[in-house]
Chains A and B, each alone.
Chain A
Amino acid sequence: MVERQSPLEPEFHVGSHGNFEHGVEIILTETRPGSIVQLAAWPGEEKKLIAAIRTVAGLALPDGAGGGLSDGVKSVFGFAPGKFTVADEVEGLAAAFAKVVTPIIGTVTDLSHGRTAIRIAGPKAEWVLAKFFAIDFALPAFPIGAGRSTTHHDVFAQIQRTGADQFDIYVFRSFARSFWKALCHASEEVGYEVQ
């Protein structure tokens, strides 16, 4: 298996940066999931798709439009009506879903190369993200597991909250380095560590 190249490579500097002498309040990392898949149900077929997600990924989403879950290895969240993003540490998720998500239910689109997953964690995660996105990151408004589709200027982003102070941001690969640089820059004031 040929290893995938990260789009962040030349700008990915492991270690502490910015105002870290006063403590590191942000941890940035690239989660590099093996699979990122987009699933989309035809109107009325959402429940079958949710069932398919349970079958393949073992993640039981509540019925309905939104919601999301993460077990630390696999993650799923709704980002649009009837549409979900699923990520897995290992490769092969698209093929697995293709067997279960029949044309009657909806479609499977492999985005494992096309999206870059960046994780921001730490007590100042909400603070730093608020510099970019005009959405409410407070826990009551953005519960753990949930996903959001939003945008920072031209950079489209899907964001899943995977912990009380942890978010996974999925951006288009071609924008990833630019966004990463901006994220590092914005984290400087609170001190950040790249892992």
Chain B
Amino acid sequence: MSPRRTDTGGRIDRLKTIRFTFDGAAYTGHAGDTLASALLAKGVTLYGRSFKYHRPRGLLTAGVEEPNALVTVLKGEVREPNIPATMVEIHDGLVAISQNRFPSLAWDINAVNQLGGKILSAGFYYKTFMGPVFGPLKGTRFWMFCEHFIRRAAGLGSAGSAKDPARYERMNAFCDVLVVGSGPAGLMAARAAADQGARVMLADLEPRFGGSANWSDETIDGAPAADWARRTVAQLEGRDNVRLLPRTTVWGYYDNNTLAALERVSDHKEQPGKGEPRHRYWAIRAKSVVLATGAFERPLVFPGNDRPGVMLAHAAERYANEFGVLPGERIALFTNNDSAYRAAIALKKAGAAVVAIADIRPELSPEMRKLAAEAEAEIFAGHAVVATEGGKALSGLKLQRFDMTNGALIGDARSIHADCLLMSGGWSPTIHLASQAGAKAEWNAARQAFLPPKPTQSWIGAGAFTGSFSTLEALAEGRAAGLAAAGGQSTPAVLPVVEAVPGDPDPAPVFEIRAKGKSFVDFQHDVTAEDVRLAHREGFVSVEHLKRYTTLGMATDQGKSSNVPGLAIMAEALGKPIPEVGTTRFRPPFAPVSIGSLAAERFGDLRPERLTPMHDWHLANGATMYSAGLWYRPMIYGHAGETVEQAYVREAKATRDSAGIVDVSTLGKIAVQGPDAAAFLDRVYTNMFSTLAVGKARYGLMLREDGLAFDDGTTWRLGEQDFLMTTTTANAGKVMQHLEYFLDVIWPELKVHVTSVTDEWAGAAIGGPKARQILAACVTGTAVDNATLPFMGIVRGEIAGVPVMICRLSFSGEMAFEVYCGAGHGTHVWEALVEAGKPFGLVTYGLEALGTMRIEKGHVTGAEIDGRTTARDLHLDWMLSKKKPFIGSAMMDREGLIASDRLELVGLIALDNKPLNGGAHIVEEVDEANPHGSIGHITACCYSPALGKHIALALVKAGKARQGTRAHVSDPLRNRFGPVEIVSNHFYDPEGTRMHG
């Protein structure tokens, strides 16, 4: 067990011990540890098994880019897979398990996959599961046969199926300056912008602000950099104009400087606080953004570079300096650049032996030689690592002389005993957000890196993000960026003084050491350098195709460490320079995002409920509610033991026998007011409204511009310039927008205002032979007799002390009235009507009975006004005024809309006395074996208590002419075939004697 905790140093609290389990074993760590650092301190070297080959893998990094050490965190029954152990903060009671191994991490049966490396090469799926026939199994069926096994063997952690009880939330935020990243550049930018009085948000995906200051071991203004960071954060914390967001990953950069971020609010706690969300999704609209996202160190590609114990140089530096953990005791380094020397010093200081530094470059600067001497490390200039040794932990490595001009290996290999190998292949600026914001990155030959593009949106870069890798540059750029982002003019604060190890930021242009053995490029997807070359040999020349064929960079880490080495190898294979090969465009999210956070408050509760004023009364009186759009409406008021059909038949029958009352508050209601209101209605309705007398209502039909039917309803003239329009429940919003559009865009000269008053009025429709008597019994202030309240007349009066408006109109076909009152009095009036109706046998009825009575009457609803039917199809052509143009009038007479074989509204009666089904087809001749020849379909159906038959409304080709003939329903899905008679849609009381009284 070579890794261990140092006695001093690091930003952890050694006095606070935290207990957790990993793969069932109990561990302890300290406050400030990640799962990775805590396990590493306990000597754990094996963290996961690789995706395809099930190779043992250790920690490669210390941060969000970790490709190997993915774990599943269990919270009760809920499991969250594929979280980098480097991003899990330990807390008491944390339960984490490793992934992609069976039966255990140490002994994994699928590790035999390593032997079949040739088969599992690039394009494995494409090559294996297409084309030839394997015995009885065709290619695709063979694939399906294998899929089960492959899915078990290859891959990541498995998702759970338990319901996630956690809370997720969305936050909308606005700021002048959003600073992404809180390293020296980000902190400086935040401070500079805040000093200007700007509203600043500072987000960092780590729990600790400070970035590299937490582990660089540099000094800023004479104090350790970490102290400088802490002080700066403390200053920012105290300011009203600054919001600090630790544990917050800015993952998306969208149009108009809208950014998306994920805050992990309570993952690091044993229990979230009361009402506290687990994750918070921040939608941030920033006037400008400072991108101080730093850079990712790149691995070198050489055989055995994935063995546990091989780690990025800065990661080891971070474990030592930030977490007080030594990743090994005998440490070797392999680098193509100067930055690794700083790691050598850090590890030496922390107590490890640095046994060797293999540097690809033949010539080293005196500064680097001095650093190596300080670390007491033997230098191997012009050398490369060609192999690593060991099983689940590194035991040694082989070095060979290397010519970086041609990649040749010279002389004999030399073995070095080491338990940890640190590598550094240079640095890639974290340009993901800038790339998402819209422009292409530019290759910089000196830095051997893609640098951020010219901004296409309002952002400014600072620090390592721009390729400026020194802390001094980061501070200067951060200050400038913060100032500029805040639009500041005043003299900036003095730059702090930095003491840092020297170093040249430019690496040698070497990405790969070609030697025998598997050299990994993408650790998470097990893509090797040879896979990349194979893809090239097989004809993939575009970097986008390379990516898809090899799956390079397509794992959950999105190639944070592998993209550039992969490109470099591809470029070499193509014989082209890297900029000509180009890079893939980064897309959101930067790092995985919980789906819960995207659903946010809609998680588990998708839609708001819309309730009528009488909702609670319905519930208390036995209604079964039915959701109609967002509304909830009574479907039936069932009695004990009744089926739905029995209930609605009873309700409909009682209404026709005596009286029924139904809640119609959901009907769309629009106040149409103004001097031109009548003229406006003449234009939007097919029939005339300017001729309607005050105190009267009229049924109206609207068409769309293309001449098809749109919506219907009654409109009441309450005053000369004051109309109350009603619409169908479903179309209320659409009709409102339709009216607003014409008033705002087409006819701005009309003085008309439209206002949604749906919610202002409670509505009850009371109908049946006794309806008038019931009203007479409870209405005061007006008579309701035929003279005072004729058909389509409106009166005002009171019920139980509440002002009401009553219109005599009928949907049920009975003598019926709609009673409207202020919504806050809805239940009061409803109860009064129900009470007054008791002696008359009044029933409450729901949507089912309402639908039944409307089918019996042959009235149309949205099922018939389906966006394809015309007024004529629905026999509403009597409503098409010839005296005026109206919306749709110019287009309604087009050839296709007046053809004789159009689907027309008819009624159907089941001749076999069995129920009919909505959506069933109508045919002339039944052919059960081969259903065909549809002449139409059923739009609505019911059992009609009035007729004692199963009836339906249907749209049937040339339906009017077929009335009186027979046809058949053909409903193969529900196996319903049978004879029907085609009749008029007006089944019941076609003359309307009942409603006219």
Contact = CB atoms under 8 A, between A and B. Distances in A.
Given A155-B608, A182-B601, A130 B171 contact: yes
B729 to A, nearest CB: 11
Contact of B283 (A134, A179, A188): A134
Interface in A111-152: 111-115, 130-136, 138, 141
A2 interface: yes
A21 B671 CA distance: 47
Interface in B729-783: 751, 753, 755-762
B611 A177 contact: yes
Nearest to A171: B759
B275 interface: yes
A113 B822 contact: yes
Contacts of A106: 753
A195 to B, nearest CB: 19
Interface in A8-41: 9-10, 18-19, 21, 38, 40
B610 interface: yes
A38 B753 CA distance: 11
Contact of B673 (A21, A107, A172): A107
Contacts of A2: 800-802, 825, 828
A113 B759 contact: yes
B811 interface: no
B255 interface: no
Contacts of A131: 169-172, 601
A110 interface: yes
A178 B721 contact: no
Interface residues of A, number: 50
A109 B171 CA distance: 34
Contacts of B630: 154
Interface string B795-839: 000001110000000000000000000111111100000000000
A112 B822 contact: yes
B692 interface: no
Nearest to A114: B760
Nearest to A6: B824
Given A113-B823, A114-B757, A130-B172, A178 B611 contact: yes
A32 B759 CA distance: 15
Contact of A153 (B607, B611, B721, B828): B607
A117 to B, nearest CB: 12
A2 B801 CA distance: 7
B760 A111 contact: yes
B621 to A, nearest CB: 15
B851 to A, nearest CB: 22
B827 A103 contact: no
B824 A5 contact: yes
B168 to A, nearest CB: 11
A155 to B, nearest CB: 5
A32 to B, nearest CB: 9
B274 A189 contact: yes
A40 B823 contact: no
Contacts of B840: none
Contacts of B642: none
A115 B759 contact: yes
Interface string B464-505: 000000000000000000000000000000000000000000
Contacts of A7: 611, 613, 823
B602 interface: yes
B746 to A, nearest CB: 16
Contacts of B755: 38, 40, 109, 111
Nearest to B798: A2
B199 interface: yes
A175 B610 contact: yes
B274 A188 contact: yes
A132 B601 CA distance: 9
A178 B751 CA distance: 35
Interface string A146-186: 00000001110000000000000000111101110010011
Given A154-B607, A186-B601, A188-B274, A5 B171 contact: no
A19 B275 contact: yes
B826 to A, nearest CB: 7
Interface string A85-122: 00000000000000000010011011111110000000
A178 B172 contact: no
Contacts of A21: 274
B757 A173 contact: no
Among A4, A7, A173, the most chain B Cβ lie within 10 Å of the Cβ of: A173
B173 A130 contact: yes
Nearest to B629: A154
B539 interface: no
A188 B275 contact: yes
Given A2-B828, A18-B275, A178 B608 contact: yes
A153 B174 contact: no
Contacts of A130: 171-173
A9 B678 CA distance: 40
B273 interface: yes
B221 interface: no
A174 B273 contact: no
A35 B285 CA distance: 37
A84 B759 CA distance: 18
A188 B601 CA distance: 13
A130 B610 CA distance: 23
B254 interface: no
B758 A114 contact: yes
A157 to B, nearest CB: 11
A4 B277 contact: no
A114 B756 CA distance: 9
A152 to B, nearest CB: 8
B610 A178 contact: yes
B276 interface: yes
B248 interface: no
A174 B822 contact: no
A15 to B, nearest CB: 15
A189 to B, nearest CB: 4
A51 B991 CA distance: 55
B801 A177 contact: no
A138 B751 CA distance: 37
B129 interface: no
Contacts of B674: 42, 103, 107
A134 B665 CA distance: 31
Interface in A41-98: 42
A4 B274 CA distance: 35
A114 B607 CA distance: 20
B164 to A, nearest CB: 16
Given A103-B721, A134-B283, A113 B760 contact: yes
B757 A5 contact: no
A10 B616 contact: yes
B609 A178 contact: yes
Contacts of B753: 40, 106-107, 109
A99 B842 CA distance: 41
B801 A173 contact: no
Contacts of A111: 755, 757, 760
Contacts of A40: 753, 755
Contacts of B173: 130
Contacts of B602: 153
A138 to B, nearest CB: 7
Interface in B229-265: none
Contacts of B102: none
A158 to B, nearest CB: 12
Nearest to A152: B608
Nearest to A1: B801
A160 B276 CA distance: 27
A109 B613 CA distance: 20
A70 to B, nearest CB: 22
Given A5-B828, A107-B673, A113-B760, 4 more contacts: A112-B824, A114-B758, A174-B610, A190-B275
5 contacts: A1-B801, A5-B825, A10-B616, A114-B759, A114-B760
Give the top 8 A-B pairs by smallest Cβ distance, nearest first: A188-B275, A4-B824, A114-B760, A189-B275, A113-B822, A178-B608, A19-B274, A114-B759
